[in-house]
Structure 1
Amino acid sequence: MISGVSLLAIALPAAAQDGEDTITVTATGTRGNVDATGQAVTVIVAEEIDAMQGADLTRVLERAPGVSATRTGGVGAQTAVRIRGAVGEQTLAILDGVRVADPAAPSGGFDFGNLLSTDLSKIEILRGSNSTIWGSDAIGGVIVATSRFADGLSASAEYGARDTVNARLAASLADADTGFLGLSGTWFNTDGFSSAASGSEADGFEQWAINGAARYYIDGRSEVFVRSRYAEGDLDIDGFPAPSFTLADTLDTQETRQWTGSAGGTYDSGPLFLSAAYSFADTERDNLDGSGVTTFASEGRSDRIALRGEWRPFGPTLVHFGGEHEWTSYETLFDAGESTRIAGAYLQGGVEWRGIAAHIGGRVDDHADFGTEVSFGADASYDLTADLRLRASIGEGFKAPSLFQLHSDFGNLLLEPEQSTSFDLGLSYGERAMRDSGVYAEATVYRRDTDNLIDFVSCFGVSGGICTDRPDGTYDNVSRARAQGVEAEIWGSPGEGVTLGAVYTFTDAESRDTGLQLARRPKHSALFTAEFAALERGSLGIDVRVVGASFDDALNTVRLDPYEIVTLRGALTVTDTVEVFGRVENLFDADYQTVAGYGTAGVSAHIGARLAL
């Protein structure tokens, strides 16, 4: 496969790049080996992303245990990614070191429909609460995505069903003594299909993005870096038009503009590693009706300064530390807008000695609107044998109320943060980063309790209490939830050129107030995958994703049926620099929904090529 260099490696000194595929930042906030943490972490590298093909990020993310996604239409439509049954907005999303949640979104989360896999080289998924390291939003888990850059010129393009075009062009220069400079551009366009399952008018999506990164080596220990990404998307959406106000075809569109960036430096003396950076994320959205009139507009922005570090004072001991200060603001067509700030600091001590790794730490955050929040976390792992490892972790998470939930016309300044406590216990065999070249197996049991869940409260026909002066409704801390389950995966190579894998997740997510199942959380999901080396330069793959039944609503009255999706894919290396590939998604044209009333793609064929010089 033709692959690139992770931007995580670009952001770290050259000495830290050895074994880059095994490096994770989600566990500690700096750098560490994925097998040296007791936390549940999955690392998906460039080769696996390439093998999956296409721009649909959910197809990549759902290869990890405990991860599920729901979407209101095709690629580009609103996409929620849930980790271990958590709410989509309780997944902290980080792109190239920048927190990319939209402060103007009602729940302050990140819409994964606006991030395509075309330009990514690495994805890290931490399953479990970890606000000790990451602060607000890390209740369900953390997803860290890294952009793709490689030394030289590279390009890719594919064409397929519904006139879908996915293209990328990148160029970069690297010098071991001086630094790195890279630039890439992507374009995705599809005619799509009707977002409303009952509709007939196709809803398309177009997005283009420009991504750049540079670093300069000051000396053998220090460097400075800068990176930035700008993306524009245009999505056709369906709605609830009069007089029936049921989901149906409309000519409405949503335009999204995202700009993110960061600048900073790193220092690495061996015992001491420091990284300091300023970062920002700005998201603008405009909803327009069929005549081009703006019906809603919003802008959310965050600015952040952060210092993270690792110190190894002596022997096997280590200390991770850091602090951040973030300013966020929002405004909409109907709100003048507000701003707030949150500052936090954490300290985590640990020991990594022979077959033992253990860490424990705490964090204090101060929010301008709700005050102080304290989080704790710990993890440990132990090598029972050379290949068998026992691990465990416990963590706390919190999510600050969004600016919209606090200050909009529906806002409530008395809201408390959502809070969670999670723990898991796992047993693994082999190395996580080597699952395609040996045998790797893991089984994990987990549980997470969440309190103070924030939800919208209707005030229709109610005039007193919390609904006083809020005839259209408001937000309140209304419920508690519990998610518990089992995650299991096994990967192996039974013969030369053959790789087999199976991933299974059991998720029991329910309201602790009503005992009913949480909406859109299937209890059972599984992935079965096989990769075959065909001849000397080719490969064939098959993926079968099986998802059990779930409910679309909190009252468990609207059922979402189970479904199975089969994808065939193949690739052929024509020369040392050219590879052609193709796939057929949803081979048996399964008719299914992840959100009630919204359509999904039928059988789809695509073909493409990659070039690396």
Structure 2
Amino acid sequence: MRRLLFLTTALFAATAAHAQQTVPETVVTATRVPTPIERIPAAVTVITRQDIEERGYRTLPEALQSVPGLRLVQGGGVGQQASAFVRGAASRQVLVLLDGVPVNDPSEPNGAFNFGNDLLGDIERIEVVRGPASSLYGSGAIGGVINLITRRAPEGRTAQAFGEAGLGTQRTAQGNIGIAGTTERWNYLGMAQGLSTRGSDATAPRFWSNTGERESFTGAAYTARFGFRPDAGSNVEALLRWRENQAGLDNIPRDDPNNEQTDRRIYGQIRAETTLFGVWTTGLRAAYTEDKRRNVNLPDAASRTTIDDLFRGRRESYEWGNRVALPDLGALRFVNLTFGIAHERESSDSRSGNLPFQTRTDASADSTAFNLGLQARILDRLDVTAGLRRDEAEDYEGFTSWRLGGVLALPELSSRVILSAGTAFRAPSLFQRFGTIGTSFRGNPELRPEDSFSWEAGFETDVAGFGRTDFATFGATYFDTRFRNLINFNAAFSTLENVDRATARGAELSLILRPAPWLDLRGAWTVTETEDEATGMPLPRRPRNVVSASARIAMDRLVVVPELLFTGPSPEGPFASYRDNGTSIPVMAYNKSGTVVNLTASYRVTEQVTAFAEGRNLGNSRFEPANGFVVPGRSALAGVRFVF
């Protein structure tokens, strides 16, 4: 309690923040039913299009860095491997959606999502739900769910052109351009975006073998959306997104000048929805995702070995979803029943490394899930949500997940209290079940899913002052998760087993101050304690303290947003760390803490044109989020944004 009081007091003193300028009316990801955010029994962060533009976020890692409870680790700059650890869960235990469809790569050995590849030009908002969500989305949603929601056509405009362009240091050029519109029955959107940069050196300067080589990046993405509305209660929509990146990679502890990776994703979905009898909304969706990654490293002075790794992953998904708005039942109001069936097929055709120790995965698997959910408001004060899902799979033991939560409104105290609990799981990946490494390693088809039990309790309170009822908003949430059946190598390194257990607990503290109409101060402090139950050691790359702080200063046409990101000392696992001479350390080690400062300014020249300037890592921090890899160096970019 003493420690929590200290953290709370310090957070007030820091006057900080991440988050949106205005709380969105509704959130879909947390319940699958559009719900006001204050009535959701889960920790939710929404990053809007306004946040993305005013804070100068170009890539997905930049946008997620300041989300409470989430630690983003990237081994270098744009295009480099990036992992997200939510509430102490492993990166493979975080599910990523694109417009509600899972996009974790089946060809990735652990089934994890690489956060380092996506640009944000076509993203309208990002919804981050922390805590177990398998009762809604199935495998992978142990730590939480991150839903990337793409842009849509504006209402009431038959044609609207929009875009932006910018130039910056490190030979950086970026931009996007698009057109969208809506008629009585049709809507459409088409856009293209791109980013090219010489980048910076990702290898820590403390290594004597560092050559200073920069990791360049070139990426492009194209998005097309078409919709048809046959009547007021029906909608048919198709979305196609293509993205391809090329990036230079580094080896630790020595640079390699021709180590390069190409990463391509093709994504498409078609969805039809209609409302029956005014209360029952039913819909069908089919989606397809294909990931293709190739890593090529030709012989040179640094290495005489040839590397040509190829990863292909595919996912097909089909879903029938339903939402029924039930009539009020006495003290029960806003009653919604949800149910549905989902089927998924994922496949991997991958090879990496060289003989005789080449790693291969050539496999596919099917799964089918049934889900049921209920939410209601009791006595206009208590919002309850319950969810149940059963996943059946042909190649591993299925799993039944559940979640139950409530939000109690206390208007007399300008507060609300949250309590929830649930289970979640992550299915073993295709490599873990069927992969091989030469003749010495075979995957284990008998693996069980990794699973967890989590609970959380929290509150949020408005404090009056300076003539405002919401001068300050303070929130605190305690979370506790127990992980079971974690997958790891056996002692002989010949296969994988469900052998590990772990725990994660901590607190998320937030503060918003509104001292003036033109000033908004926001802050978040996450304290996380993890433990590997077999060794008693903390889990790698989960720092105890992560702090974000920012302000939004809006004066007439000018908006200035400074942002500060602090990460405390971070543990690294055995053999994952390196001394200055490049030798591995077979014991737990810690990365030093680090601070990154960013600044973005926007000036509205006209109603249609806005000029902007951005500075990233202004202090030129050489902080290492992953041991041996530093954050990108100081950079600046300026440009214009328009909409006609």
TM-score between both structures, scaled by the size of structure 1: 0.90
Out of 165, 170, 179, which is 2:186 matched to? Answer: 179
Change (3 A) 1:279 1:566: same
The corresponding residue for 2:316 is 303
Q: CA deviation at 1:414?
A: 1.9
- Which blocks of at least 5 consecutive residues in structure 2 are unaligned? 1-21, 155-159, 301-305, 352-358, 437-441, 575-585
Within 5 Å, which residues of 2 pair with 1:290-369? 290=298, 295-315=308-328, 316=333, 317-333=335-351, 335=360, 337-353=362-378, 354-369=380-395
Moved more, 252-261 or 37-46: 37-46
Q: CA deviation at 1:308?
A: 1.9
Out of 424, 429, 432, which is 1:402 matched to? Answer: 429
Deviations 1:494-547 (A, max 9, x none): 11211111111001122122111111111001111111123x211112111111
Deviations 1:203-253 (A, max 9, x none): 11111010111111110111101001000111111226xxxxx44334111
Task: Give distance in 1, aligned partners of 2:275 and 2:167.
Answer: 44
Task: Give distance in 2, aligned partners of 1:390 and 1:51.
Answer: 31
The corresponding residue for 1:505 is 526
- Determine whether 1:482 maps to 2:503: yes
Out of 20, 23, 44, which is 2:47 matched to? Answer: 44
The corresponding residue for 1:94 is 97
Structure 1 runs of 4+ aligned residues shifted over 6 Å read 435-438
Q: CA deviation at 1:438?
A: 6.2
The corresponding residue for 2:28 is 25
Task: Give distance in 1, aligned partners of 2:120 and 2:188.
Answer: 21
> For residue 487 of structure 1, what is the amino acid of its counterpart?
E
Q: CA deviation at 1:346?
A: 1.0
Change (3 A) 1:345 1:488: same
Within 5 Å, which residues of 2 pair with 1:252-267? 252-267=259-274
- Tell whether the 8 Å contact from 1:52 to 1:59 is kept in structure 2 after alignment: no
Change (3 A) 1:408 1:136: same
Out of 214, 224, 227, which is 1:202 matched to? Answer: 214
- Which blocks of at least 5 consecutive residues in structure 1 are unaligned? 1-18, 241-245, 460-466
The corresponding residue for 1:224 is 236
Q: Secondary structure at the match of 2:628?
A: coil
> For residue 261 of structure 2, what is the amino acid of its counterpart?
Q
Out of 252, 255, 258, which is 1:251 matched to? Answer: 258
The corresponding residue for 1:552 is 572
Out of 567, 580, 585, which is 2:611 matched to? Answer: 580
Q: CA deviation at 1:366?
A: 0.5
> For residue 477 of structure 2, what is the amino acid of its counterpart?
T
Q: CA deviation at 1:424?
A: 0.5
Within 5 Å, which residues of 2 pair with 1:451-600? 451-457=484-490, 459=492, 470=494, 474-534=495-555, 536-553=556-573, 557-600=588-631
> For residue 422 of structure 1, what is the amino acid of its counterpart?
S
Task: Give distance in 1, aligned partners of 2:505 and 2:387.
Answer: 24
Change (3 A) 1:511 1:314: same
The corresponding residue for 1:417 is 449
Identity %: 27
Task: Give distance in 2, aligned partners of 1:411 and 1:139.
Answer: 23
Deviations 1:436-462 (A, max 9, x none): 996433210000111111134574xxx
Change (3 A) 1:454 1:126: same
- Determine whether 1:444 maps to 2:470: no
Task: Give distance in 2, aligned partners of 1:544 and 1:332.
Answer: 40
Task: Give distance in 2, aligned partners of 1:512 and 1:538.
Answer: 52
- Tell whether the 8 Å contact from 2:421 to 2:454 is kept in structure 1 after alignment: yes
Task: Give distance in 1, aligned partners of 2:419 and 2:108.
Answer: 34
- Tell whether the 8 Å contact from 1:551 to 1:557 is kept in structure 2 after alignment: yes
Moved more, 210-219 or 148-157: 148-157
The corresponding residue for 2:83 is 80
- Tell whether the 8 Å contact from 1:98 to 1:261 is kept in structure 2 after alignment: no
Task: Give distance in 2, aligned partners of 1:291 and 1:236.
Answer: 15
Q: CA deviation at 1:20?
A: 10
Q: CA deviation at 1:95?
A: 0.9
Q: Secondary structure at the match of 1:296?
A: strand
Task: Give distance in 2, aligned partners of 1:480 and 1:179.
Answer: 52
Task: Give distance in 1, aligned partners of 2:30 and 2:490.
Answer: 36
Task: Give distance in 2, aligned partners of 1:67 and 1:275.
Answer: 32
Moved more, 142-151 or 84-93: 142-151
The corresponding residue for 2:404 is 378
Task: Give distance in 1, aligned partners of 2:469 and 2:190.
Answer: 30
- Determine whether 1:393 maps to 2:423: no
Task: Give distance in 1, aligned partners of 2:426 and 2:397.
Answer: 13
- Tell whether the 8 Å contact from 2:92 to 2:140 is kept in structure 1 after alignment: yes
> For residue 181 of structure 1, what is the amino acid of its counterpart?
Y
TM-score between both structures, scaled by the size of structure 2: 0.85
Task: Give distance in 2, aligned partners of 1:380 and 1:571.
Answer: 40
> For residue 141 of structure 2, what is the amino acid of its counterpart?
A
- Tell whether the 8 Å contact from 2:298 to 2:307 is kept in structure 1 after alignment: no
The corresponding residue for 1:281 is 289
- Tell whether the 8 Å contact from 1:501 to 1:530 is kept in structure 2 after alignment: yes
Q: Secondary structure at the match of 2:136?
A: helix
Q: CA deviation at 1:381?
A: 0.6
Task: Give distance in 2, aligned partners of 1:98 and 1:59.
Answer: 22
Moved more, 551-560 or 229-238: 551-560
Q: CA deviation at 1:563?
A: 1.1
Q: CA deviation at 1:159?
A: 1.7
- Tell whether the 8 Å contact from 1:30 to 1:309 is kept in structure 2 after alignment: no
Q: Secondary structure at the match of 1:105?
A: coil
> For residue 275 of structure 2, what is the amino acid of its counterpart?
D
Within 5 Å, which residues of 2 pair with 1:9-24? 21-24=24-27
- Tell whether the 8 Å contact from 2:80 to 2:116 is kept in structure 1 after alignment: yes
> For residue 345 of structure 2, what is the amino acid of its counterpart?
W
Q: CA deviation at 1:556?
A: 5.7
> For residue 454 of structure 2, what is the amino acid of its counterpart?
S
The corresponding residue for 2:12 is none
Task: Give distance in 2, aligned partners of 1:441 and 1:271.
Answer: 37
- Tell whether the 8 Å contact from 1:29 to 1:134 is kept in structure 2 after alignment: no
- Tell whether the 8 Å contact from 2:261 to 2:295 is kept in structure 1 after alignment: yes
How many residues in Structure 1 have an aligned counterpart in Structure 2?
Answer: 573
The corresponding residue for 2:198 is 191
Q: Secondary structure at the match of 1:371?
A: coil
Q: CA deviation at 1:552?
A: 1.6
RMSD: 2.1
